[in-house]
Structure formats: structure tokens, C-alpha cells
Structure 1
């Protein structure tokens, strides 16, 4: 798939809801792709997040203050249309803040999904760079939590399972209802089905606004 095709798919995903994608994944037997309800936009007005997963993994490690060269090197690998997906065991720790967000955005990264903490929320808000994370914290990672890998399979906390595996190249979608992971092999068929479901719901809303009862609308269009 060339870069333009990938961007076209990304833009189309921005027009469907995570709820419809979740329903389609259920129909395909992928029942545990939703992420934990703690994942939320920072700031609350961050908007939708959609992009191809670029994974970054870290762990709690004591080391001298002065920066995390491995974190900076990992971020250098980001490409346009990708979402940086952060995983690790750093409870209470901020994985990144404003300056790294700016650097990721400069590389064409379209947002971040963080199974951990973020800070500088007010300043990130000015970057038009959607970030979804489990919490915010002022506590920096330097000297406490260190990146130890990128573009490897990672585990993020799940909604219906303890963890959801995210592989490089999977697709990430997040909106007001939460965040969900679409495995790479399913990205295109799930999108097509979600678009069909989205159009079906649009038609139902038109009918309801015209005075049709919900019961009659469901008779006409079927279950949604």
C-alpha cells in the first residue's frame, strides 16, 4: 500500500465512529480490541485520533538525569500518518510532554496513544495534536522510566480483556467513546463495513427526523 492509499484510508476512518468499528470487529470475531475506558483525550477538546500504529515500549529504570537518548531515537523513526503508541509499566510517570509532541508532529505523526501519563496538556492543546492517554501527571520520566524498544508488539490495557496487543502497522481510532485497535490485516474490510453501517445510521436519523417512529425505522432498516 503506497503512502497516498494509506492516507486515504486514514481520512476515511476519521469519518466513522469507534462504536461502529467495534460492532464490525465483533461481527468478525474480534471481540477484545477496545482499550480501557481510562483512555481519554488530553485536552478534552483534542478531537479524533486516527492513524497507523508506531509502537514505543519502556520500563521503570533508575538512571542519571540528563535525558533519554533512546526515547529521542525512537521518535525519529515516526512517519507521516502514524500514531505513536506508548506502552510500559511507568505508573504515575509522564511518558512525554509538549516538546516531544512538537517533534513528533514535525515528522508528520498525527497523534499519540499513551498507556501511561502525559503532561504539558495546556501547551499540547495549542499544537492541534490529539493525544489520548490513561492519565496526566507532572512527574517526568527522566531518571525513572526509559524507552527500551520501538516498532515491536506491545500490550495496552484493554476494555474487555486485561491487555490488547498492538503491532506496528495496526490502525488506531479514538473518539468521544474511547479508543480501539484494528489489526492490520482487517483494516480495509472493517473500514468498508463501518462506512456501510455509518450510512445506514444516517438514513435512520433522517427517517426519525421526518417523524418515523423508532420501531418502524428498525423494521425498515434492521438492527444497528
Structure 2
């Protein structure tokens, strides 16, 4: 790996590894609780892989007058290339954003969104080619109901093995068919290198199996993966 790989280079390399391998590496590093709740799913189905740096946005259920959420727009205006917009805040039954906000995030160069809440306009977001993983879908807008109150702050997302996973600005988010996981910023490169090695090992095992090697023989040769 180059001495100082760019965010874009790191992101492209993460797109070539699986969340399952990243989870195994994190286990080996003593970080067993970085997996996010299985409720996080691609919306729409087939939305594509999610990889990038966490740009955190926090909100809460707050009745307010009609007219939009100025803080939400300010937060989205700060997104940049290779960012994942990470939305948190215990919204109940409402969507945090829809097609138009997704267009704005994509225009800013964001690589996708991870939403601990709801989204809408799934058909149009799918056509936009902007990968989104969220907990639920909802037609009900957030205006008058849910409001952004901070961004670029630590947030706590629903976890897989613990109740909440802390995600800091600059942590790395990876999500695919198996689910979503958060990689602490200080471990991003170390985890990537180890996951790439594990991925290469799995590719070698698949090739051997296709050539007739039995699973028992493959495990004897390569060890557990």
C-alpha cells in the first residue's frame, strides 16, 4: 500500500472486500462488536455496496413549524467525496430523507448513506444509483416531526451484538449483502490490509475446490477462514 493512500484509493480497495472478512479481522484485533443491526438493509434491494468515511448526522423527534429543516440542509452541504452520510436519532415511523436530499448528497460527492431510521422515494433513489442502507421505509416526511440537531459528532447506531455501536466522524462504513459494519478510523488501513489477505486466501480456496480439491483438503492446506 502507498505510504499515504488517498481516501478514494482506500474506498476503492474496500469495495473489493466483504463485510464478513472485515468482521473476522476486527474479531482478531479485539473489536468484536462493530457489526451493525441486521435491520440495516439496502433500499431499494440491489442498491449496491456501501463504502466510505462516516459523516455523521444526528436528529431527534421534535415537533416544529412547517417550512423545512434548515439544519438538515446545512449538514448535507458539508458532505464531500468518499463520505457516507450516517444518519442517527431514533426517528419513529418517519423518513429522514428522500429523492431530492439523495440527489443533493450525490452532487456533493457522497458515496452513499447509512440511515438508522427511514427513507422514502426508493424507486427514484434506485434509479439515481446512490446506495442507501436503512432500517425501514416510510412515506411520512420528517418535516414537523424529526429535526437535525448536530453533525460531525459521535453517534450511536443500533448494533448486531451490542445494543449500540459508537460511530465517530471519520470511521469507515462498509455494507453489502451480508450487512453493515463500522471500522474505527485508527484501524482503517490495518483492517483493509488484513481483509485483502483473507480475501486472497478465500479466492485461492475457491479455485482449488473448483479444480477438485475436497473441502477437508482445502481446510487442511489453508486453515480455517
Q: What TM-score, normalized to structure 1?
A: 0.98
User: Is the counterpart of residue 166 in structure 1 residue 167 in structure 2?
Assistant: yes
State how far apart, in whole Å, the 2-side matches of 1:184 and 1:91 are: 30
Structure 1 runs (4+) deviating above 4 angstroms are 1-4
Q: Unaligned stretches of 5+ in structure 1?
A: none
State how far apart, in whole Å, the 1-side matches of 2:90 and 2:22 are: 28
Q: Calculate the aligned-residue CA RMSD, in Å.
A: 1.3
State how far apart, in whole Å, the 2-side matches of 1:140 and 1:178 are: 26
* 1:22 partner SS: helix
Report the counterpart of residue 145 of structure 1 in structure 2. Answer: 146
Report the counterpart of residue 12 of structure 1 in structure 2. Answer: 13
Report the counterpart of residue 113 of structure 2 in structure 1. Answer: 112
Q: Unaligned stretches of 5+ in structure 2?
A: none
* 1:126 partner SS: helix
* 2:128 partner SS: coil
User: Is the counterpart of residue 68 in structure 1 residue 69 in structure 2?
Assistant: yes
User: Is the counterpart of residue 195 in structure 1 residue 196 in structure 2?
Assistant: yes
Report the counterpart of residue 207 of structure 1 in structure 2. Answer: 208
Report Cα offsets for 1:156-197 as digits up to 9, x if no partner: 000000000000000000000000000000000000000000
Q: What TM-score, normalized to structure 2?
A: 0.98
Equivalent residue pairs, number? 224
Report the counterpart of residue 30 of structure 1 in structure 2. Answer: 31
Closer/same/farther in 2, CA of residues 62 and 89 from structure 1, 3 Å limit: same
